[in-house]
Amino acid sequence: MEIVYAEDKKSFVEAIETIRAGACVRIDSISSVSDSAKDFLDAAVKLAGKGGELVCESEGFDTRREQGALLFPLCRALSELEQAGRKARRHSGIERAKSEGKYKGRKPIAVNGELFESVVARWRGGELNARQAMALLELKPNTFYRRIKEQEEQKMKDYKQMEHEIKSEIKDAVRQSRHDLGELKKQVRAEAKEVKKAADEKLELHDVEREMRKDRIRAEVEHHDAVRQMRKDVEAEARELKKMMENE
């Protein structure tokens, strides 16, 4: 069996990362390879998941033996218990802070907007892989992908806002066009009425002039007839007078 000795935290982490199934990691003590019980429990669970074994000299346990093999399930249970307790304490603290009006949430990590846009564009274009992009931005994976998601959501929100504004402008333009068209129709109708009225008045004037012309012609004809009749009467009287003078 391959045995890897880890004398400190760094070598312990490296050993777990590179361990092969069936190999064993040997440590002097828990305190020499871990700063907290949680870190050690997490590392032990990870080691068990890879099929490795763990031997601790000072604490006297060996997972290669039946009794020592109980360590991994115990570590897993303790780790889950500690995580549950930590979440419960955190939740209780948040609720208490909310009730006191002090909770404002976790402060977002400050990121240079222009740099983020540039790096993400290079990452999307295949110029950078995700790890290189995260290194340039100094972001962890969860923060990196969350910011990308937020960026996409913001772009979608901006697009919808722009789409809404464009639709509103189109509606306003259509509404204004309909109003202008209605006003134009009213104006055209009014002008048509004026033209018709003027045409009717002109027609009436023409009819009046025509009637006056007829009356004038009729009067002239009557006058001419009267003059002719008067002439006839005068001529008749003259003849009568001449006869009377001849008889005398």
Q: What is the pLDDT of residues 104-127, one digit of tens each?
A: 656 656 677 788 888 888 888 888
Give, rounded to a whole angstrom, the gap between the first and last alpha carbons of the chain. Answer: 191
For position 106, what pLDDT does the model report?
60
For position 73, what pLDDT does the model report?
67
d(Cα 179, Cα 171) in Å, to the nearest integer? 12
**Arch. (CATH architecture) of 3-99:** 3-Layer(aba) Sandwich (3.40)
For position 58, what pLDDT does the model report?
78
The answer to whether residues 4 and 24 touch, using CB atoms and an 8 Å cutoff, is yes
For position 79, what pLDDT does the model report?
65
Mean pLDDT over all residues of the chain? 80
How far is residue 148 from each of residues 113, 145, 162, 186, 198, measured CA to CA in Å? 12, 5, 21, 56, 74
Nearest Cα neighbor of 15 from 49, 43, 57, 45 is: 43
For position 76, what pLDDT does the model report?
63
For position 83, what pLDDT does the model report?
73
- Residues 183/188/193/197 CA torsion (nearest 10 deg): 130
For position 229, what pLDDT does the model report?
84
Task: Spell out, as residue ranges, where the chain has pLDDT lower than 70.
Answer: 1, 66-76, 78-79, 102-110, 203, 205, 248
pTM above 0.95, yes or no: no
d(Cα 183, Cα 222) in Å, to the nearest integer? 58
For position 104, what pLDDT does the model report?
60
The answer to whether residues 25 and 47 touch, using CB atoms and an 8 Å cutoff, is yes
The residue ranges of every structural domain in the chain are 3-99
